[in-house]
Amino acid sequence: MVAPGGESWSFGKWIAEPPGRVWVAPALLVLGVGFVAQNRVPARIRWMVFGVTWPLWPALLVMPVVGVLIGVPARRRSARRR
pLDDT for 5 equals 59
For the segment 46-80, what is each residue's pLDDT rounded down to a tens digit? Answer: 888 889 898 888 888 888 888 888 888 877 766 66
Distance of CA 72 to the CA centre of its chain: 17
Q: What's 6-68 look like in SS3?
A: CCECCHHHHHHCCCHHHHHHHHHHHHHHHHHHHCCCEEEEEECCEEEEEEHHHHHHHHHHHHH
For the segment 21-39, what is each residue's pLDDT rounded down to a tens digit? Answer: 777 888 888 888 888 888 8
Does pTM top 0.85 for this prediction? no
The DSSP call for residue 69 is: H
pLDDT for 28 equals 84
